[in-house]
Structure 1
């Protein structure tokens, strides 16, 4: 291993992995999933040396175990249950679940196979490892870090002088960070400063949230809706959101309730997000499509149900920077609660382009699964016939099921 270990704690993942993990443990422990890595950058190539380093880093990650101090921290989160924490006491990543090879495209393929309970937890650390290996080995890392620090200080100055007023915002950048050190520096500096029109409320990185005494932020991801809604062969996938929301409420009640709207389009989501769920969930998250149109749609939906939008939160998390977030906050001011989860712009803004890499669920229980988001091209499925089938199911429901 050429670099120091990149992942040094099993807490070093996004909070929603534990939120979903608890539901999976209690309700879907027998589900099996396949996950596939994809690099969307057309000009990026991973060398043989990079691939070998990624393998060694993932082996090191698979040697980690939760400490009792870490488990105690998780147990103090009000919606985390002792049964799941006890499971994590025994849990360990398995290198045998990985298949890592070289290819002629970007130079790197990664797939994981096994129980959803295991493979879900691999996604974020794997992406963090791939990022850090790439930026250490493809560039002069110290120069990148210097440009990162310079840009970070400029961002903080813009918040301090009220150039941008974001209201509540969190850091969501673990999966695409420049490095562990860069992400920690960003969280530390954002947390130690005060801003007239903005409040830094937390990070998705549970390890850093614990270290700096801030809120670990995150509820559900697309995988939850895709696997719950599409992994059962008896389910009509156009009702994926109903199944996913129903099981979430069974697990959490009114706690931990921010629903993701765009797994099979927001319009289809709203067919299931009726009075009961709209009341129980504290808000919804935007991850694709025009944020202004989406926000207007959500406000109208709440009003149509007789719910005051001012009692609900719209969490925006799609490709944000401070300028874009400021415009959204200003546009919706006084009409609804607003919050932001800002990722790469905080954790990997340097003089070179960030990687656009993802690792997505591509099969569940032997079935193809897919998302059809509000932005064309954000989905990932190896079987175009299944995507066509899913789209037909959604279209039929939107046209006939009123």
Structure 2
């Protein structure tokens, strides 16, 4: 490796990987998945030297193991069970699960194939590695970091003096961060926000479990789109238009009323609401927005809670789609009188520099030999290798929406 090792701990991933991982371990150990990397930036190219460095960094990641100190930290999280911690004590990434090459328009292709237990844990570290390698090798990194620090200082001051009010917010930027150094600077900075008497905004945690442990913060995260896609579409006996029901049912079996923020947009929020009826709406503490118009979504969720006789003030709307503090401020002021509002803010906190951030993803594309897809509330955010399957899934959703009342 030409660069220092980027991922240095297996805790250096998003919290929802452990939330989903425990349930996969207890209920879906036999599921197998394929994950596919995609760069959505049309003007970005990864050189051969970058691809080689990414390969070496992933090899180094695959040599890591959980330490007893890290396992003890996980064991103290109230909803993590000892059986899962014991599994993690034995678990290790496998470089053999990766296929890394140059056969893609951007010059970098990555696929990971294997058990869902394994491959789910590869997504976040892989994306963090790709980001950091790219920005260190394509630009003058020191200049980028200087611009990052200046912008970070300005954000902090604007929150501290009340120019923006972001309510309760967390840092969600691991997958698209400029670097490990930059993300840690952001977490350090905003951890001090809670110490000032001048700020009414509250920083509650980070999705990065390693940094949460290091700075005594709350590790934040429940479920991702992979959860709904695989539990709902990875079984040939399931109608994929009911993906949310299968996902919510398995989650409640694992956690009951704990760890309960539901993701709504995997096969559209309108379809999600067909399954998010009284039992689930009561047991889950809130819902997360990740695509579509946030105002329309929020009003729709408030109306849904009211239609079920649930007081919206007992629930939380968690916004996490392409946020900055200005947008968060406006969303908070719009919704705060009717429902609790929280924010998960990613790239804006971990990779805001003088150059545009990468728009890269790594998504589940196959589960148990079958295509899976995310439809989303925003056209273009989905990803699937088979357009025929997307058409089939859309027709299933359309039929249900028209006929299943």
Residue 44 of structure 1 corresponds to 44
Partner Cα separation in structure 2 for residue 113 and residue 234 of structure 1: 23
TM-score by length of 2: 0.99
Partner Cα separation in structure 2 for residue 107 and residue 133 of structure 1: 14
Partner Cα separation in structure 1 for residue 8 and residue 346 of structure 2: 21
Partner Cα separation in structure 1 for residue 109 and residue 31 of structure 2: 23
Residue 139 of structure 1 corresponds to 139
Q: Does 1:396 align with 2:395?
A: no
Residue by residue over 1:114-158, the C-alpha shift from the partner in whole angstroms, topping out at 9 and shown as x without a partner, is 000000000000000000000000000000000000000000010
Q: Secondary structure at the match of 1:385?
A: helix
Structure 1, unpaired ranges of 5+: none
Residue 32 of structure 1 corresponds to 32
Residue 58 of structure 1 corresponds to 58
Asked if 2 retains the 8 angstrom alpha-carbon contact of 1:33 and 1:362, the reply is: yes
Residue 121 of structure 1 corresponds to 121
- The partner residue of 2:225 within 210, 222, 225 is 222
Q: Does 1:316 align with 2:319?
A: yes
TM-score by length of 1: 1.00
Q: CA deviation at 1:104?
A: 5.1
Correspondence 1:192-341 to 2 at 5 A: 192-193=192-193, 194=196, 196-341=199-344
Q: Give the ranges of 4+ consecutive aligned residues of structure 1 lying more than 3 Å apart after TM superposition.
A: none
Q: Does 1:173 align with 2:173?
A: yes
RMSD: 0.5
Q: CA deviation at 1:339?
A: 0.2
Q: Secondary structure at the match of 1:73?
A: helix
Q: CA deviation at 1:166?
A: 1.1
Partner Cα separation in structure 1 for residue 277 and residue 104 of structure 2: 47
Aligned length: 402
Residue 76 of structure 1 corresponds to 76
Structure 2, unpaired ranges of 5+: none
Q: Secondary structure at the match of 2:366?
A: strand
Correspondence 1:146-157 to 2 at 5 A: 146-157=146-157
Q: CA deviation at 1:197?
A: 2.2
- The partner residue of 1:356 within 355, 359, 363 is 359
Partner Cα separation in structure 2 for residue 218 and residue 109 of structure 1: 28
Residue 102 of structure 2 corresponds to 102
Partner Cα separation in structure 1 for residue 385 and residue 323 of structure 2: 28
Partner Cα separation in structure 1 for residue 81 and residue 290 of structure 2: 28
Q: Secondary structure at the match of 2:71?
A: helix
Residue by residue over 1:158-197, the C-alpha shift from the partner in whole angstroms, topping out at 9 and shown as x without a partner, is 0011111111000000000000000000000110123522
Asked if 2 retains the 8 angstrom alpha-carbon contact of 1:329 and 1:338, the reply is: yes
Asked if 2 retains the 8 angstrom alpha-carbon contact of 1:164 and 1:197, the reply is: no
Q: Does 1:92 align with 2:92?
A: yes
Q: Secondary structure at the match of 2:38?
A: strand
Asked if 2 retains the 8 angstrom alpha-carbon contact of 1:75 and 1:82, the reply is: yes
Residue 347 of structure 2 corresponds to 344
Q: Secondary structure at the match of 1:362?
A: strand
